Amino acid sequence: MQHPFAAGREADVFLLDGGRVLRRYRTGADTAREAEIMAYAAAHGYPVPAVYSADGADMVMERLHGPTMAEAALAGRLGLAEGAAMLADLLRRLHELPARDGGGETVIHLDLHPENVLLTARGPVVIDWRNAGDGPGDLDTALTALILAQVAIGSIEHPLGGAVHAMLDRFLELAPGDPVRLLDDAAAFRRRQLTMSPDEIAMIGDAAARVRAGVR
């Protein structure tokens, strides 16, 4: 197969044709559950890529055209305050969906940040549903805040760097639910991520403290 045209910490993305891509997990992780959640979200009108098939570690999806939110911010085409408002709105809309099991919680993404939002002609579309499931919306909100804080304090290296402090503060003003109620749970979840380096894990407590400091 050709070389991937995009790659994340866990998966590579290959171009199949003008309208489809293949996303393949390097670990061999099964995509069935992820595809099911994406289909459920799409059926409720939430912006996700269309999924055409899921077989083992491979998922064939709609090819989306447009920069990530992070790329648009770096290029000066999207203000950080505007990006923060977009993240907050995407979480709010997601948390309005009923849980798939009919329980009292909601659908949560658990990795919604500027690298996982593509700005397309039809609006922002959320990608990478690997961690998604049913649960409390406040956990989702806390995780977005925590990931932004990790970038802001330099725990996660990213070209936006310290500029994300302003984005985080605006996000905390607009975020749905309570971003600190389940912050300890969010920190524990991040520490269990196999893609995190030891140095990144060591600074999660500092990132959580930054989130708490930004809540007014």
Instruction: Say what percent of the chain tops pLDDT 90.
Output: 84
Closest to 175 in 3D by CA, of 128, 203, 214: 214
pLDDT per position as a tens digit, 9-47: 778 888 888 889 999 888 888 999 999 999 999 999 999
Give the model's pLDDT for residue 29: 85
In CATH terms, the fold of domain 6-62 is Phosphorylase Kinase; domain 1 (3.30.200)
pLDDT per position as a tens digit, 44-102: 999 999 999 999 999 999 999 999 999 999 999 999 999 999 999 999 999 999 999 87
Give the model's pLDDT for residue 119: 98
Q: Where are the domains of the chain?
A: 6-62, 69-214
Between helix 204-214 and helix 164-174 the angle, nearest 10°, is 60
Give the model's pLDDT for residue 53: 94
Closest to 153 in 3D by CA, of 171, 167, 172: 167
pLDDT at 5 over 90: no
pTM listed for this prediction = 0.94
- For 188, residues 6+ apart whose C-beta sits below 8 A from its C-beta are none
